[in-house]
């Protein structure tokens, strides 16, 4: 009896997983450039940190200024989420655009993943030691990497979806 219940539970779990997978594929297929870009975290004041954002990499601020202008932990969380959205945009471009540079996509993936890891490490440091000099320097480095990611994303959109570029610049 217990064996039959286990088998039924396993079949229900497998069917449930495939149903979930099918829904996620349908959802992914309904995405557009605009819907993805609209999910970027607004409120990141990167234009105050870099006069060339999102066209060029680099910051014009000190670690202390960067920490303050980003809003500390709130800004780090927004960077984390936006980097994830940029990963999704790169995946969307790989699926739907014919003229995408594979090296550019690889760099976007590597940068976004690195940013997300660094943000998690910096947030863990914040839990332990609040906003120490090390946390501010790490935030500065994350923000600097994020400007590079945004510049590469701008390059990707110029080639693959130039009509979505103004929305990205406004949202970034």
123-163: pLDDT as tens digits: 998 888 776 888 999 999 999 999 999 999 999 999 888 88
Question: 13 vs 105, which has greater pLDDT?
Answer: 105
Helices 63-70 and 133-160 cross at an angle (nearest 10°) of 70
Question: 42 vs 112, which has greater pLDDT?
Answer: 112
Residue carrying the six token digits 């590469």: 152
Q: Provide the pLDDT for residue 103.
A: 94
Residue carrying the six token digits 């409120």: 43
Asked if the model's pLDDT at residue 6 lies above 70, the reply is: yes
pLDDT in tens, 106-119: 999 999 999 999 99
Three-state SS at 99: coil
Q: Are 57 and 49 in contact (CB under 8 A)?
A: no
- pTM attached to this predicted model: 0.80
């Amino acid at each position: 009896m217990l064996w039959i219940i286990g088998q039924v539970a396993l079949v229900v779990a497998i069917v449930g997983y495939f149903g979930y997978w099918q829904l996620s594929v349908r959802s992914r297929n309904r995405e557009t450039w605009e819907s993805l870009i609209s999910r970027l975290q607004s409120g990141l004041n990167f234009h105050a940190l870099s006069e060339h954002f999102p066209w060029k990499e680099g910051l014009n601020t000190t670690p202390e200024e960067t920490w303050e202008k980003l809003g500390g932990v709130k800004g780090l969380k927004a960077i984390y989420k936006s980097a994830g959205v940029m990963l999704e945009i790169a995946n969307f471009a790989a699926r739907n655009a014919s003229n995408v540079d594979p090296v550019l996509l690889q760099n976007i993936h590597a940068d976004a993943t690195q940013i997300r890891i660094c943000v998690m490490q910096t947030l863990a440091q914040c839990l332990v030691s609040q906003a120490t000099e090390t946390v501010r320097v790490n935030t500065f480095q994350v923000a600097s990497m994020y400007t590079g990611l945004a510049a590469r994303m701008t390059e990707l959109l110029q080639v693959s979806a130039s009509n979505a570029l103004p929305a990205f610049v406004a949202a970034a």
